[in-house]
Amino acid sequence: MTDTDPTRPAPRPSPPRAPTLTPALTHTETLQHTVSELLVPLRVTAPPHLPFHATVTSAGNAALHTARLRSTPHSVLRTPGLISSSDADLFKVTLHLSGTARVEQGDRQRRVRPGDLLALDTTRPYALHLPDPCDVVVLGLPRGLLGPHARALTHRSGEPIPADTGTSALHTLARLRDPDLCAESVAAHHRISVLPQALNFVRAGGTPSLHQLFQGRDRTFTAWLRHERLTRIRRDLADPALSHRTATSIAAAWGFLDSTHLSRALRDEFGSTAAELRRTTNP
């Protein structure tokens, strides 16, 4: 799999077709056929001891497919045996309106909560388990439509974006190379504050701050931003094709301008300095 050539124009979408509601589905084989036709070949299973029921409303055009699935508990599997070079090169993007889920792709296993946004690279195997009755919006997003952003989405495949942080996270990932990107600029873009103005205001249903949007997550916004930048720096340092570039220039390309503390930051985050990462890949 290769990244999309950013100089190549993205395909022009054809006119959308009217939404279509499939008859109620009472067998997993029928849902399997329906979603495989919309996206890529998939396998659908369900607990044998529970009655199965699903409805699918689909729309879109030749380049872009979207559907809304309401269903009893089931699992969707993209197994190695189902993956073929003739399949459409898609990201499957799901918005989970209700019901929890568990996603597995590569070495990632994550819980998906109601409201979360999830992108899955369909060129790689994955499993999505939905143990509750669910309401999910599904989008088949061609890699070619993303241009240079496809690489970033590939890196995030299988990593849920929480509903409350999703908009901020997507805006931030698109601007990681901007050295001026920070909590203040993201908050200003979304017209929210960085820190809570007053606890009573939030309890009364006011707009949450950027700090509050990241409460309950593994990292604060600033730590998350730093981690995302360092992850890409580590990847590029380990890329033999970029061995002619200095660590400082690679870091600067991802908005990390503090070259004095780059190796310490990489060691704290991943256990290896810039020089060690280079030696491992280019002995």
Backbone angles phi, psi at 109, to 5 degrees: -135, 115
Higher pLDDT, 218 or 55: 55
- The 10s digit of each residue's pLDDT in 155-174 is 889 998 875 555 556 566 66
Question: What is the band of 4 on the pLDDT scale with cuts at 50, 70, 90?
Answer: very low
State the first-to-last Cα distance of the chain, in angstroms, to the nearest integer: 26
Tell me the range of 16-25, 58-67, 235-244 where mean pLDDT is highest: 235-244
Strands (E), the chain: 17-21, 43-45, 54-60, 65-71, 74-78, 90-98, 101-105, 108-112, 117-121, 126-130, 134-142
Per-residue CA distances from 272 to 156, 199, 236, 254, 267 (Å): 22, 41, 14, 18, 4
Domain-by-domain residue ranges, the chain? Answer: 17-147, 164-283
113-117, 163-167, 176-180, 229-233: lowest mean pLDDT where?
163-167
Joined tokens for residue 251: 């870091």
Which one, of 197, 183, 180, 185, lies nearest residue 252 by Cα?
Answer: 180
pLDDT at 73 over 50: yes
Span 187-203, average pLDDT:
53
Higher-pLDDT residue of 203 and 116 is: 116
Other beta carbons within 10 angstroms of residue 270's beta carbon come to 15
57-64 mean pLDDT: 71
Q: What global pTM score does this model have?
A: 0.55
Pairing outcome for strands 126-130 and 74-78: antiparallel
Fold of the CATH domain 164-283: Arc Repressor Mutant, subunit A (1.10.10)
Q: Spell out the CATH class of 17-147.
A: mainly beta
Which residue has 């017209």 as its token pair?
191
